[in-house]
Amino acid sequence: MSVCRDPRLWATRCTFRYPRQFAVHGFKGATVRGIAKDAGVSPGLVQHHFPSKQALRDECDGYVFTLIREAKAEAATTGALLDPAFIGYAHEASVAVTRYVAMALATDAPAASTYFDACVDMTYETFTGGGELGPALPPTEETRTTAVVHSAMLLGLSLLFGQVLRALDLDADDPQTAVRLGRAQLFLTTDRIVGDEFADRIRAGLDRYEQAGRRDEAT
């Protein structure tokens, strides 16, 4: 993924504004002018770094893939899951990413294939890698099939995210949304994917995040 050298443009991308523009308006509906306005920079600055809307879309795709991989790796290898700040950051990022991925799945066949294949690859790596995420499965065709089906289930949540929020009367930006959906996903995750010790850490992290939110509301 190319790194934009303008600090203002880099900062706005890191607050998820570019993916949000595409997520809200779709690739065809999003405009460079609208993206620049939302990011607080001039259209010329955006076009200087990204000569076309497709180039910006490609950058967003790379950013989303990197964000997912890095967050997943940090959660699996550090104590980040016990840090309410990390969970809050992950929730904020996931809202933007979920909507962006849903847009790609619903409106753009080539991009949908790219996202699905990337999700399958990451899931397959998790299944066969072992470690704290559960016992390693053998690198067989059956394991690959399991990764494909599991990826379809995960991306289904992205595609139906708006319906999930509506059915549960949740606000995407409410910290309680991360807690409730996180606990539901953990309940549905089998031992082959998440080991008991790792699951306990996830539960503890969600509890801390919920308690931190209540303290903030009380102040």
For a pLDDT cut of 70, what percent of the chain falls above it? 81
Per-domain boundaries in the chain: 1-58, 78-218
pLDDT per residue over 154-196, tens digit each? 888 888 988 999 999 999 888 889 889 989 988 887 666 777 7
pLDDT per residue over 72-105, tens digit each? 777 666 667 777 777 777 777 777 778 888 888 8
Topology classification of domain 1-58: Arc Repressor Mutant, subunit A (1.10.10)
Output the DSSP codes for 106-152: HH-HHHHHHHHHHHHHHHHHHHHH-GGGSPPPPSSHHHHHHHHHHHH
Q: Residue 76's pLDDT is what?
A: 64
d(CA 109, CA 117): 12
Entry pTM = 0.70
- Is residue 16 pLDDT above 60, yes or no? no
Secondary structure element (H or E) that encloses residue 15, with its range: none
Of 123, 145, 126, nearest to 135 (Cα)? 126
| Mean pLDDT to the nearest integer, 62-80 | 73
Q: Residue 139's pLDDT is what?
A: 92
Residue 60 has φ and ψ, to the nearest 5°, of: -65, -40
Highest mean pLDDT out of 51-60, 87-96, 135-144: 135-144
Q: What per-residue string of b and e applies to 157-196 under the rule 16 or more CB within 10 Å gives b?
A: bbbebeebbeeeeeebeebebbbebbeeeeeebeeebbbe
d(CA 69, CA 46): 26
| Mean pLDDT to the nearest integer, 146-160 | 90
Q: In this structure, what token pair is assigned to residue 28? A: 């065809």
Helices (H), 160-195: 161-168, 175-188
pLDDT band, very low/low/confident/very high, at 5 (cuts 50, 70, 90): very low
Mean pLDDT check: name the lowest of 96-100, 119-123, 146-150: 96-100
Mean pLDDT of the chain: 78
Residue 50 has φ and ψ, to the nearest 5°, of: -130, 100
Length of the chain in terms of residues written:
219
Q: Residue 190's pLDDT is what?
A: 65
